[in-house]
């Protein structure tokens, strides 16, 4: 339910996430809290669509996201 709500917020306002640079250029990361933990949700706005790539806690999030993109999943 919480993830669905956050995805809905992003769909309504894609600029809500922080624009990344460097290896993560063109990606945005939206941060939100759930049960006293911070979660990050990486997504990419493209023309008339949003592509969601990864969700997780902060620990190793960016390392794993870069690996995911390098392996051709993104």
Q: How confident is the model at residue 74 (pLDDT cuts 50, 70, 90)?
A: low
Which pLDDT value is given to residue 35? 93
Burial class (CB in 10 A: 0-12, 13-18, 19+), 68: middle
18-60, pLDDT tens digit by residue? 999 999 999 999 999 999 999 999 999 998 899 999 999 999 9
- Please list the residues that pair with 43 across neighbouring strands: 28, 52
Which pLDDT value is given to residue 47? 87
pLDDT at 61 over 70: yes
Helix count and strand count (H, E) for the chain: 2, 4
Which pLDDT value is given to residue 72? 82
């Amino acid at each position: 339910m919480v993830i669905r709500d956050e995805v809905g917020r992003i769909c309504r306002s894609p600029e809500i996430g922080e624009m990344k640079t460097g290896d993560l250029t063109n990606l945005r990361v939206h941060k939100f809290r759930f049960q006293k933990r911070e979660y990050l949700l990486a997504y990419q706005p493209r023309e008339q669509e949003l592509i969601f790539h990864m969700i997780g806690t902060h620990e190793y999030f960016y390392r794993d996201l870069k690996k995911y993109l390098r392996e051709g999943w993104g």
